[in-house]
């Protein structure tokens, strides 16, 4: 009798451990307006396989959710790993997320109004589901796997068609009272400045986003403004420096308010590199108060195109309260 | 033998409990440029007694620290409670506090340069010492005892000669990477605006502090501007509304970035009451993004002149990481 017990116990323990290892795979999903990028990772967040499918946003939420499910099947199949071994699915989605569950109404996902993506995916997949705003997810991705490794308080700013942000406090995404924190692009910096899409005037987004730079430079888009500036065009150079000043003031404002350990700058416009980031840094330093200036660190994002999907994986690892 | 053990155990337990109760008193200190306000409270933070002594800031740190110690003896004597029954002493001090210990160099405490008030008071008093920036302390005081009861994420804004702030996240003071968070007064809102004492232009403090209101109204100080406005003076009314607009934009900016549960507005200028706070609320609503506008709550502070000292007591109760 005693012998049987002694043999049974380790077998049970080993079996349980083995099951845990087998079931510890993670899927991360970057839900964008045109593409869904889905990756499968191991329990440490190391990416094993990834796929990309069209969002087909115009066909409405039901079709988009079907495409999400399809991308999950595809990525598992591609990796040769059965879905039963996946325990957690994380999704980074645009716009404010209420209660880490509900997608409110992002402009690039028409027809989505207060869609509880968490409960829908849980019902369909029977996995633990994590939902986070895409900028918050990218912020956490940079903290765990990218430019913010080793820090605890991080502000991620994405410079693109719009300007958004994600805030990490003490190693966790900070989303605020109802989940709308991080909207750094709608900080008013020049209250008599140009009109913003949000209806107000002089928001950072209206002053320094890709389209704002293109307009100031008299070019089709921010990339053309960059190329012109690199060729020595004065107007394009001035446009980029003006945008850098506003971004620097925005960073200084956040530094004075939050004094984070590090700012990580991502998004398409940040691909200009030092042409933009060098003046951003010096303006941010000038407009920070003396005490908080000392601790100001601004670095470019590292994860680039994978920020969203790595962020969604990071949320599975660290997204719990 | 068994009987002795049974008798001994409860005696020990009762004795230990009794000692804990006896030693659980708290002292809170509000260190200002002109007055030191010191209070003794029980283990729940209920104030038993308070005293006020002159800071004598011009006589330098040594004299000020001697006055702090004197105020502690006085308040204990006044309450008839021996200092041995006090286990924790909290102090709210002006300016940034490095590492919850070091007072950097507040303009109203001449001669104080990187004074480690925590270790000095610990050496002299042999008590557990808590040091916090005065605005952060007031924020925590409002959360525990004042207008923010029951909330977790709170931003306290003090409108006075300067404009400062304190941030509470998940029920704890948030001080940032090196302890300089909360400087909401130096958020740039109108980058072509008037010069600020900090050297930049268009900071909230330069646009909406007491002196800024007085200047716009053409009066000696904010109180005279208020009285003139209440008597129907158009220029004074316009000055207060303009300041309210800037304060509203500042709150909206913080709301878009941090989306706290509640904003609590204190400081001498906030004593104008609804004359100032009603337009502040409507501007803050206008400049908040739609999603975060819904959760925007702005209330006046409740602790008034006791905010600092109640805050210092609160820091003893909740200031630990």
What digits encode the pLDDT tens for the residues B57-77?
999 999 999 999 999 999 999
Cβ–Cβ of A188/B104 closer than 8 Å? no
pLDDT at A205: 95
Whether A192 and A212 have beta carbons less than 8 Å apart is answered as no
Fold of the B25-139+307-318 domain: Nucleotidyltransferase; domain 5 (3.30.420)
Beta strand A86-93 with A47-54 is unpaired
Distance between A293 CA and the closest CA of chain B, angstroms: 10
Q: Residue B241 pLDDT more than 80?
A: yes
Mutate to test the interface with B, among A257, A283, A284, A295 (most CBs of B within 10 A): A257
Q: Residue A4 pLDDT more than 50?
A: no
Cβ–Cβ of B183/A104 closer than 8 Å? no
Q: Determine the Cα–Cα distance for residues A90 and A30; give it in Å rounded to an integer.
A: 9
What count of CB pairs under 8 Å joins A to B?
133
Of B153, B179, B192, the CB nearest to A190: B192
Query: DSSP label at B231?
Result: T
pLDDT at B189: 95
Whether B165 and B156 have beta carbons less than 8 Å apart is answered as yes
Of B153, B175, B190, the CB nearest to A176: B153
Give mean pLDDT, residues B143-166: 96
Cβ–Cβ of A176/B289 closer than 8 Å? no
Q: Residue B2 pLDDT more than 50?
A: no
Mean pLDDT, all residues of chain B: 92
Dihedrals phi, psi of B221, to nearest 5 degrees: -155, 180
In this prediction, residue A98 has a pLDDT band, given cuts at 50, 70 and 90, of confident
Cβ–Cβ of A177/B257 closer than 8 Å? no
Of A181, A246, A295, the CB nearest to B258: A181
Q: What is the crossing angle of helices B234-258 and B222-230, to 10°?
A: 120
Dihedrals phi, psi of B170, to nearest 5 degrees: 50, 45
pLDDT at A2: 45
Three-state secondary structure call for residue B31: strand
Of B165, B287, B291, the CB nearest to A188: B287
In this prediction, residue B321 has a pLDDT band, given cuts at 50, 70 and 90, of very low
Whether B26 and B317 have beta carbons less than 8 Å apart is answered as yes
pLDDT at A321: 41
Q: Residue B176 pLDDT more than 60?
A: yes
pLDDT at A236: 98
Sequential DSSP letters for A167-222:
EEETTEE---SSS-TT-GGG-BSBTTS-B-TTSSBSBHHHHHSHHHHHHHHTSSSH
pLDDT at B319: 62
Cβ–Cβ of A253/B253 closer than 8 Å? yes
pLDDT in tens, A259-289: 999 999 999 999 999 999 999 999 999 999 9
Distance between B32 CA and the closest CA of chain A, angstroms: 20
pLDDT at B187: 96
> Torsion angle of alpha carbons B259, A261, A196, B242, nearest 10°?
70
In chain B, which segments carry CATH 3.30.420.40? 25-139+307-318, 149-301
* CB under 8 A, 24+ apart: contacts of B195-202: B198/A289, B200/A286, B200/A287
Please name every residue paired with B172 in a beta bridge, in sequence order, or none if there are none: B169
* Percent of chain B with pLDDT strictly greater than 90: 81
Q: Residue B15 pLDDT more than 80?
A: no
Give mean pLDDT, residues A102-131: 94
Mutate to test the interface with A, among B262, B291, B295 (most CBs of A within 10 A): B291
pLDDT at A239: 98
Q: Residue A290 pLDDT more than 90?
A: no
pLDDT at A10: 61
Cβ–Cβ of A177/B260 closer than 8 Å? yes
* Percent of chain B with pLDDT strictly greater than 70: 93
* Percent of chain A with pLDDT strictly greater than 70: 93
- How many other C-beta atoms lie within 10 A of the C-beta of residue A106? 21
Whether B48 and B40 have beta carbons less than 8 Å apart is answered as yes
In this prediction, residue B290 has a pLDDT band, given cuts at 50, 70 and 90, of confident
Of A169, A184, A246, the CB nearest to B257: A184
pLDDT in tens, B161-175: 999 999 999 999 999
Tell me which residue of A233, A240, A183 sits closest to A209, measured CA to CA: A240
Three-state secondary structure call for residue B48: strand
* Percent of chain A with pLDDT strictly greater than 90: 81
- What residues of A are in contact with residue B184 (Cβ under 8 Å)? 256-257
Tell me which residue of B40, B41, B109, B48 sits closest to B72, measured CA to CA: B40
Q: Determine the Cα–Cα distance for residues A26 and B132; give it in Å rounded to an integer.
A: 42
pLDDT in tens, B80-93: 999 999 999 999 99
Cβ–Cβ of A257/B252 closer than 8 Å? no
Mutate to test the interface with B, among A176, A193, A294, A320 (most CBs of B within 10 A): A176
- What residues of B are in contact with residue A204 (Cβ under 8 Å)? none
In this prediction, residue B99 has a pLDDT band, given cuts at 50, 70 and 90, of confident
pLDDT at A76: 96
pLDDT at B16: 58
- The residues on A that touch B, with CB distances below 8 Å, are 95-96, 104, 153, 165, 167, 169, 174-184, 186-192, 198, 200, 246, 249, 252-254, 256-261, 286-287, 289, 291-292, 294-295
Those residues with Cβ within 8 angstroms of residue A1's Cβ, 6 or more apart along the chain or in another chain: none
Distance between A200 CA and the closest CA of chain B, angstroms: 7
By C-alpha distance, the chain A residue nearest B154 is A177
By C-alpha distance, the chain B residue nearest A247 is B188
User: How far is CA A67 from each of CA A59, A204, A309, B58, B238, rounded to the nearest angstrom?
Assistant: 11, 34, 16, 71, 56
| Domain covering A22-139+307-318 assigned CATH 3.60.10.10 in the classification | no
Q: Residue B293 pLDDT more than 80?
A: yes
User: Which residue stretches of B178-273 are H helix?
Assistant: 204-208, 210-217, 222-230, 234-258
Tell me which residue of B240, B233, B307 sits closest to B273, measured CA to CA: B240
pLDDT at A11: 63
Q: Which class would CATH give A149-301?
A: alpha beta
Mean pLDDT, all residues of chain A: 92
pLDDT in tens, A32-52: 999 999 999 999 999 999 999
Give mean pLDDT, residues B133-153: 96
Q: Residue A144 pLDDT more than 90?
A: yes
Cβ–Cβ of B177/A260 closer than 8 Å? yes
- What residues of B are in contact with residue A188 (Cβ under 8 Å)? 189, 249, 252-253, 287
Of A178, A189, A190, the CB nearest to B295: A178
Distance between A191 CA and the closest CA of chain B, angstroms: 5
Distance between A137 CA and the closest CA of chain B, angstroms: 16
Q: Determine the Cα–Cα distance for residues A213 and A245; give it in Å rounded to an integer.
A: 12
In chain A, which segments carry CATH 3.30.420.40? 22-139+307-318, 149-301
Mutate to test the interface with A, among B183, B193, B204, B260 (most CBs of A within 10 A): B183
Show the CA angle centred on residue B128, arms to residues B123 and B134, nearest 5°.
100
Query: DSSP label at B90?
Result: E
Cβ–Cβ of B189/A188 closer than 8 Å? yes
By C-alpha distance, the chain A residue nearest B182 is A257
Mutate to test the interface with A, among B259, B283, B286, B297 (most CBs of A within 10 A): B259
């Amino acid at each position: 009798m005693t012998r049987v017990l002694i043999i049974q116990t380790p077998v049970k323990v080993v079996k349980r451990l083995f099951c845990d290892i087998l079931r510890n795979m993670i899927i991360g999903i970057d839900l964008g307006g045109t593409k869904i990028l889905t990756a499968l990772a191991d329990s440490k967040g190391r990416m094993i396989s990834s796929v990309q499918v069209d969002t087909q946003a115009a066909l409405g939420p039901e079709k988009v959710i079907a495409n999400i499910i399809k991308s999950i099947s595809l990525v598992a199949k591609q990796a040769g790993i059965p879905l039963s071994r996946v325990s957690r699915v994380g999704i980074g989605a645009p716009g404010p997320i209420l209660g880490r569950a509900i997608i409110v109404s992002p402009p690039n996902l028409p027809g989505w109004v207060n869609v509880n993506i968490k409960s829908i995916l849980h019902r369909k997949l029977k996995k633990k589901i994590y939902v986070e705003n895409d900028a918050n997810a990218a912020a956490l991705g940079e903290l765990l796997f990218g430019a913010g490794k080793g820090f605890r308080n991080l502000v991620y700013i994405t410079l693109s068609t719009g300007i958004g942000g994600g805030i990490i406090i003490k190693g966790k995404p900070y989303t605020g009272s109802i989940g709308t924190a991080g909207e750094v692009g709608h900080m008013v910096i020049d209250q008599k400045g140009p009109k913003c899409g949000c209806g107000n005037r002089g928001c950072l987004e209206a002053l320094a986003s890709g389209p704002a730079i293109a307009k100031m430079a008299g070019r089709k888009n921010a990339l053309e403004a960059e190329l012109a500036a690199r060729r020595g065009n004065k107007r394009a150079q001035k446009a980029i420096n003006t945008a850098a000043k506003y971004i620097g003031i925005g960073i200084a404002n956040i530094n004075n308010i939050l004094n984070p350990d590090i700012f990580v700058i991502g998004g398409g416009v940040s691909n200009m590199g030092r042409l933009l980031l060098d003046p951003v840094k010096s303006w941010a330093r000038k407009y920070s108060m003396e005490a908080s200036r000392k601790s100001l660190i601004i670095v470019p994002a590292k994860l680039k195109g994978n920020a969203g999907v790595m962020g969604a994986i990071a949320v599975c690892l660290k997204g719990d309260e």
